[in-house]
Amino acid sequence: MFGTSFRVRMQDAWQLRYLFKCFGLMSVVLVMDACELDNPAREPLPLDYENFVCSVQPVVVNTCSFSVCHGNSKRNFRVLSPSGMRISDEYAIARERLSADDLAAGIQPPLTETELRYNFDQASAFATMPPGESMLLLRPLPVEQGGRFHGQGGDIFPTRDNESYRAIEDWMHGQTGGCE
């Protein structure tokens, strides 16, 4: 139906399209490479792990770790908890530490050091300076208190004076120290 010359012209057209696409992509890369980002990396906050474990961990486990909330792998901020989402291998290790009676009673093993570090890293990723701009504090705060809409979770901290809110804020301000 089509002659040889048509096939040759189509082949030439495809080669030209390919060259134009490559040239266009190279132009974009060169332009992007020439641009400087006005978004320098920020210094990490001096966040204390011991203070997190004693003051912040209980807050996030008790208010955020439900499966419909942040105890869910589909969330940007994820929280591991003894009776919720766990790291499989770590959960197996933690179960080995419980007695047969505890297991029979349905007691859940506490989080391992690795799981606590995971929660620390998750929360640290949302820590900002000033702390009042952190989504970790703004999302659970009512909109009328200066917070952001929090979806199904609703308002967790009624005001900025709430003890749990203050524990997270103090941690972001660099409070140190372990459990008393």
Q: Would you place residue 93 in the very low, low, confident or very high pLDDT band (cuts 50, 70, 90)?
A: very high
Q: Could you tell me the two tokens for 58?
A: 């209980």
Across all residues in the chain, what is the average pLDDT?
83
pTM score: 0.73
Q: What are phi and psi of 67, to 5 degrees?
A: -65, -25
Average the pLDDT over 99-108 and give the result.
Answer: 94
Residue 43: strand, helix, or coil: coil
CA-based end-to-end distance of the chain: 88
8 Å CB contact between 51 and 175: yes
Helix 57-64 / helix 113-125 crossing angle, nearest 10 deg: 80
pLDDT in tens, 23-51: 555 554 444 555 555 666 566 678 999 99
Is the pLDDT reported for residue 18 higher than 70?
Answer: no
Closest CA to 168 of 143, 142, 144, 132: 132
